[in-house]
Structure 1
Amino acid sequence: MDDQNKNLLIATGLSFVVILIWFLLFPPPEEQVQDQAEPAAVQPVEGDTASTPAIAPGTTQTAATQSPTGTETALDAPRLPIETARLSGSISLSGGRIDELVLKDYTVAIDDDSPNVQILEPVGTGHSYYALFGWAPGAGLGGADVPGPNTEWTVEQGETLSTATPVTLRWDSPSGLVFRRTVSVDDNFMFTVTQAVENGSNSAVSAAPYGVVARHGEPADRKKFFVLHEGVVAMADGKLDEIGYGDMPDMDVLASEGARAEVTQVTESGWIGFTDHYWMTTLIPASGPFKQVAKYDESRDIFQTEAVQPTVTLAPGEGTEVTTQLFTGAKEYETIRDYQDAGVDRFIDSIDWGWFFFLTKPIFWLLHQLHQLIGNMGWSIIALTVILKAILFPLAYKSYVSMAKMKELQPEMEKLKERAGDDRQKLQQEMMALYKKEKVNPASGCLPILLQIPIFFSLYKVIFVAFELRHAPWFGPFQDLSTPDPTSLYNLFGLLPWAAPEVGSTLALVFVGILPILLGISMFLQQKLNPAPADPTQKMIFAWMPWVFMFMLGGFASGLVVYWITNNTITFTQQYLIMRSQGYKPDIFGNIKSGFKKTPKDAPKEK
Structure 2
Amino acid sequence: MDDQNKNLILATALSFIVILVWFVVFPPPEPEVASETTPVSQIAADGDTAAAPAVSSASTGAVTGAEAKAPEAARVTIDTARISGSISLQGGRIDDLSLKDYRVTIEEGADIVRMLSPVGEPSAYYALYGWAPGTGLGLDDVPGANTIWTAPAGETLTSESPVTLSWDNGNGLLFNRKISVDDNYLFTVTQSVTNSGTSTAALAPYGILARHGEPQDLKNFFILHEGVVGMADGELSEIDYGDMPDFSVDPREGARAEVKQVETDGWIGFTDHYWMSTLVPASGQPFKSVAKYDERRDIYQTEVVLPTMTLAAGETAEVSTQLFAGAKEWGTIRAYEKSGIAGFLDSIDWGWFFFLTKPIFWLLHEINKLIGNMGWSIIGLTLIIKAILFPLAYKSYVSMAKMKELQPQMEALKEKAGDDRQKVQQGMMELYKKEKVNPAAGCLPILLQIPIFFSLYKVIFVTIELRQASFFGPFQDLSMPDPTSIMNFFGWAPWAGPEPGTLMATIFIGILPLLLGISMWIQQKLNPAPTDATQAMIFAWMPWVFMFMLGSFASGLVVYWIANNTITFTQQYLIMRSQGYKPDVFGNMMSSFKRGQKPDAK
Matching of residues 351-366 of structure 1 within 5 Å: 351-366=348-363
Separation of aligned partners in 1, 2:180 and 2:497: 46
1:252 aligns with 2:248: yes
Instruction: Give how far 1:509 is off.
Output: 1.5
Pair 1:255–1:599, CA change in 2 (3 A):
farther
Separation of aligned partners in 2, 1:64 and 1:433: 78
My pick for the range that moved more, 135-144 or 15-24, is 15-24
Kept in 1: contact 2:290–2:303 (CA 8 A): yes
Matching of residues 73-222 of structure 1 within 5 Å: 73-74=70-71, 76-156=72-152, 159-222=155-218
Aligned-CA RMSD value: 1.8
Separation of aligned partners in 2, 1:393 and 1:28: 32
Instruction: Give how far 1:551 is off.
Output: 0.2
What are the Cα deviations for residues 187-229 of structure 1, in whole angstroms up to 9, with x where unaligned? Answer: 1111100000011222111111000000111111111111111
Instruction: Give how far 1:51 is off.
Output: 2.2
Q: What is the identity, as a one-letter code, of the residue corresponding to 1:16?
A: F
1:10 aligns with 2:2: no
| TM-score using structure 2 length | 0.95
Instruction: Give how far 1:158 is off.
Output: 6.8
Instruction: Give how far 1:546 is off.
Output: 0.2
Indicate the residue corresponding to 2:314 in structure 1: 317
Instruction: Give how far 1:340 is off.
Output: 0.8
What are the Cα deviations for residues 309-351 of structure 1, in whole angstroms up to 9, with x where unaligned? Answer: 0011111111101001001011111111111111111111111
Separation of aligned partners in 2, 1:485 and 1:400: 33
Pair 1:341–1:86, CA change in 2 (3 A):
same
What are the Cα deviations for residues 292-318 of structure 1, in whole angstroms up to 9, with x where unaligned? Answer: 101111111111000100011111111
Kept in 1: contact 2:482–2:500 (CA 8 A): no
Q: What is the identity, as a one-letter code, of the residue corresponding to 1:122?
A: P
Separation of aligned partners in 1, 2:97 and 2:544: 46
Separation of aligned partners in 2, 1:44 and 1:453: 49
Q: What is the identity, as a one-letter code, of the residue corresponding to 2:547?
A: M
Q: What is the identity, as a one-letter code, of the residue corresponding to 2:56?
A: S
Aligned residues: 588
1:223 aligns with 2:219: yes
SS at match of 1:168: strand
Pair 1:486–1:30, CA change in 2 (3 A):
closer
Indicate the residue corresponding to 1:58 in structure 2: none
Percent same amino acid among aligned pairs? 69
Instruction: Give how far 1:85 is off.
Output: 1.0
My pick for the range that moved more, 514-523 or 526-535, is 526-535
Instruction: Give how far 1:44 is off.
Output: 5.1
Kept in 2: contact 1:140–1:203 (CA 8 A): no
What are the Cα deviations for residues 362-401 of structure 1, in whole angstroms up to 9, with x where unaligned? Answer: 0001111101111111111101100000000000000000
Indicate the residue corresponding to 2:583 in structure 1: 586
Structure 2: 5+ residue stretches without partners: none
Separation of aligned partners in 2, 1:45 and 1:528: 66
1:418 aligns with 2:418: no
SS at match of 2:538: helix
My pick for the range that moved more, 393-402 or 150-159, is 150-159
SS at match of 2:95: strand
1:64 aligns with 2:62: yes
Separation of aligned partners in 2, 1:359 and 1:512: 30
What are the Cα deviations for residues 264-315 of structure 1, in whole angstroms up to 9, with x where unaligned? Answer: 1100011110011111111001132101101111111111000100011111
Separation of aligned partners in 2, 1:29 and 1:386: 29
Indicate the residue corresponding to 2:564 in structure 1: 567
Kept in 2: contact 1:234–1:242 (CA 8 A): yes
Among candidates 289, 292, 307, match of residue 292 of structure 1: 289
Q: What is the identity, as a one-letter code, of the residue corresponding to 2:317?
A: T
Q: What is the identity, as a one-letter code, of the residue corresponding to 1:364?
A: F
Indicate the residue corresponding to 1:453 in structure 2: 450
Indicate the residue corresponding to 1:51 in structure 2: 56
What are the Cα deviations for residues 73-102 of structure 1, in whole angstroms up to 9, with x where unaligned? Answer: 21x321010111111100000000000011
SS at match of 2:55: coil
Pair 1:409–1:44, CA change in 2 (3 A):
closer
Kept in 1: contact 2:194–2:314 (CA 8 A): yes
Separation of aligned partners in 2, 1:222 and 1:147: 33
Q: What is the identity, as a one-letter code, of the residue corresponding to 1:25?
A: V
| TM-score using structure 1 length | 0.94
Matching of residues 516-531 of structure 1 within 5 Å: 516-531=513-528
1:544 aligns with 2:541: yes
Separation of aligned partners in 2, 1:22 and 1:334: 31
Instruction: Give how far 1:43 is off.
Output: 5.5
Instruction: Give how far 1:33 is off.
Output: 8.6
SS at match of 2:132: strand
SS at match of 1:446: helix
Separation of aligned partners in 2, 1:170 and 1:535: 82
SS at match of 1:23: helix
Pair 1:387–1:269, CA change in 2 (3 A):
same
Matching of residues 355-394 of structure 1 within 5 Å: 355-394=352-391
Q: What is the identity, as a one-letter code, of the residue corresponding to 2:386?
A: K
Indicate the residue corresponding to 1:489 in structure 2: 486
Indicate the residue corresponding to 1:59 in structure 2: none
Separation of aligned partners in 1, 2:170 and 2:50: 23
Indicate the residue corresponding to 2:263 in structure 1: 267
Pair 1:553–1:71, CA change in 2 (3 A):
farther
SS at match of 2:318: strand
Separation of aligned partners in 1, 2:37 and 2:432: 69
Matching of residues 503-518 of structure 1 within 5 Å: 503-518=500-515
Separation of aligned partners in 1, 2:54 and 2:378: 50
SS at match of 1:232: strand
Q: What is the identity, as a one-letter code, of the residue corresponding to 1:214?
A: A
Instruction: Give how far 1:45 is off.
Output: 5.6
Indicate the residue corresponding to 1:28 in structure 2: 28
Pair 1:437–1:115, CA change in 2 (3 A):
same
Q: What is the identity, as a one-letter code, of the residue corresponding to 2:160?
A: A
Q: What is the identity, as a one-letter code, of the residue corresponding to 1:206?
A: A
Kept in 2: contact 1:532–1:591 (CA 8 A): yes
